[in-house]
Amino acid sequence: MWWDSLNGLQQVMFIIATVATSLMILLIIMMLIGMDGGEAFDGDIDVDVDLDDVDGGSFGDSSDVFNQESFFSLGGLKIITIRGMLAFFSIGGWVVFMMADSSPVWLAILIGVLSGSVAAVLLALVMRAIFRLESSGNLDYSTAIGKTATVYIRIPKNNEGKGKIMLVHQGKMIEADAITKEDNDILTKREVKIIGLEDETIFLVKPID
C-alpha cells in the first residue's frame, strides 16, 4: 500500500501537513463568509518582529482576533499566530514530506523549517496589508481624545520615542502610535488616557493612576 511505502518521517509530516492545510482552508473559508471575528480563538499568542521595510502604523483589528494579545514584542509585525503556525506547519510539513525520501533527514527538516518560517512571515505581511487597507482613510483620530487605551508596546518617557497602544475606536479595535511627556516609561499592558494628538495619527497619552 502507498502508506506503507512511506518512511516514518514522511508519515508524520503527511499527517501534520494535511491537518494544518485543512485548518488553513477552513480559516480562509471563515474569513470569506465573515466568521473570522468570532471569539473562539481569543488569547492567541503573537510574536512581533520589526522589519525595516514594513512601516508601523495603525490598522483595524476587529476582524483579526488571531492577532490581539501579544506576550512578547519586538515591533509591529505579528508572526506567531494561529494563522502563522498553520502556514508554518502546512508549508514546512509538505516540504519535509517531499524531501524525506531523497534527502538526509537533517537537510529535509532544515529546509522545511526555513520554508515554513518564510511562509509564516509572508502570511503576516499579507494579513497586515489587508487590515491596513480595511481601515485606511476611515478613522478620525481626533475623536479618540479622552478615551482610554492599553499600551501594546512600551512608550518611552519624555517624548523620547514612540510606543503603541490598542483601543476600540469607531467600532473597531485599532493599534496606533503613541508618545508621552511623562517622566517615566509607560510599560506594556498599562492603561492610559489619550489627552492629545500629534501629527494627525500619533496619540499623546498619560497613565491612568
CA angle centred on 70, ends 30 and 41, rounded to 5° = 25
CA distance 148 to 171: 14
pLDDT tens track of the chain, all 209 residues?
A: 788 888 888 899 999 999 999 998 888 787 667 544 443 343 344 444 443 333 334 333 333 434 444 333 345 556 567 788 888 999 999 999 999 888 899 999 999 999 998 998 888 788 767 666 655 556 788 888 999 999 988 999 999 999 989 888 877 778 888 999 999 999 988 999 999 998 777 999 999 97
Cell numbers of 97, please?
Answer: 514530506
Supply the CATH classification number for the domain 141-207.
2.40.50.140
**Parts of the chain belonging to CATH 2.40.50.140:** 141-207
Give the DSSP per-residue string, 19-58.
HHHHHHHHHHHHHHTT-TT-STTTT--EEEE--TTS----
Please give the model's pTM, rounded to 2 decimal places.
0.53
Angle, in degrees to the nearest 10, between helices 8-32 and 105-135? 10
| Cα 171 from Cα 168, distance rounded (Å) | 6
Contacts for 102 with CB less than 8 Å, ≥ 6 apart = none
